């Protein structure tokens, strides 16, 4: 799905403006970014700098006010809401800070949820779920409910759910933000393994320099613009 020069994600002169009544809030201003296939990229910057907004535009969760967002050979900012939802189901895995697991479902059923939107049979879904849980090291906990799992284990379930469809792109929003250092290090190690062993392209929003140090590249946002230097 990469373009000819090996770039998977290309953001070109993107503007994002939110409107609150008559007030316009400019979150991103003329932002451009390229992410090569197989990169583990960290996005850092102060609160309100536009990190999560940029992540949402790349993942097709929102649409740019101006500019273009390409993932592979597809331009996603011109898609309809329905087209972007279908594209996202095929190509994007999402990992959240607070896991977003359904407490009434077991780990394996939480992981299976994205597959319910696919034409896979029940046995095929089961095979995909087993593979994803094995990758994150939770095969032995597959029938446990989220409330019986530690925070680190819950995030592993969240990552298994994100990779169960074998997505093109893994987008992580503060994936270690609710974890202690030891559990956070385990999650970061897992993300690195997904890059090195499974070829995943990962974009991670983080406030933590310890987390960003595990990425292959870090870029900083400040007042809606990219900079190569950490903001003061």
What are the phi and psi torsion angles at 67 (to 5°)? 95, -175
**In 3D, which of 36, 64, 53 has the Cα closest to residue 202?**
36
The ranges assigned to domains in the chain are 38-64+79-227
What per-residue confidence (pLDDT) applies to 231?
55
Q: What is the 3-state secondary structure (H, E, C) of 3-46?
A: CCCCEEEEEEEEEEEEEECCEEEEEEEEEEEEEECCCEEEEECC
Instruction: Give the pLDDT mean for 81-89.
Output: 93
Look at the block and give the residue holding tokens 């409107």. 19
Which residues are paired to 31 by β-bridges?
14
Distance CA 1, CA 19 (A): 34
- What fold characterizes domain 38-64+79-227? Rossmann fold (3.40.50)
Q: At what angle do helices 181-198 and 151-163 cross, to 10 degrees?
A: 20
Is the pLDDT score of 1 beyond 80?
no
Q: How far apart are CA 171 and CA 94, in angstroms?
A: 5
Mean pLDDT along residues 13-17: 95
pLDDT digits (tens, 9 = 90+) for 149-193: 999 999 999 999 999 999 999 999 999 999 999 999 999 999 999
Q: pLDDT tens across 89-138, in order?
A: 999 999 999 889 999 999 999 999 999 988 999 999 999 999 999 999 99
Cα(21)–Cα(23) distance, rounded to whole angstroms?
A: 5
Identify the burial level of 79 via C-beta atoms within 10 angstroms of its C-beta, where 0-12 means exposed, 13-18 middle and 19 or more buried.
middle
Quote the pLDDT of residue 229.
59
SS3 185: helix
- The C-alpha atoms of residue 194 and residue 34 are separated, in whole angstroms, by 20
* Mean pLDDT in residue range 61-70: 95
């Amino acid at each position: 799905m990469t373009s000819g020069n090996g770039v998977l994600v290309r953001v070109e002169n993107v503007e994002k403006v939110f409107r609150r009544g008559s007030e316009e809030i400019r979150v991103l201003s003329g932002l451009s970014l390229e992410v090569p296939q197989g990169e583990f990229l960290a996005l850092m910057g102060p609160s309100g700098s536009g990190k999560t907004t940029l992540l949402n535009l790349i993942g097709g969760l929102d649409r740019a006010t101006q500019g273009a967002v390409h993932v592979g050979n597809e331009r996603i900012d011109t898609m309809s809401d329905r087209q972007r939802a279908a594209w996202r189901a095929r190509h994007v895995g999402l990992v959240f800070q607070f896991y977003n697991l359904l407490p009434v479902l077991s780990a394996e059923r939480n992981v299976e949820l994205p597959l319910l939107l696919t034409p896979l049979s029940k046995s095929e879904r089961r095979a995909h779920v087993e593979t994803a849980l094995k990758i994150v090291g939770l095969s032995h906990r597959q029938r446990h409910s989220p409330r019986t799992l530690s925070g680190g284990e819950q995030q592993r379930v969240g990552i298994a759910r994100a990779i169960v469809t074998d997505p093109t792109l893994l987008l992580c929003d503060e994936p270690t933000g609710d974890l202690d250092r030891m559990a956070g290090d385990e999650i970061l190690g897992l993300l690195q393994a997904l890059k090195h062993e499974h070829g995943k392209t990962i974009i991670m929003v983080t406030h933590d320099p310890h987390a960003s140090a595990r990425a292959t590249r870090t870029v900083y946002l400040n007042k809606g613009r990219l900079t190569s230097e950490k903001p003061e």
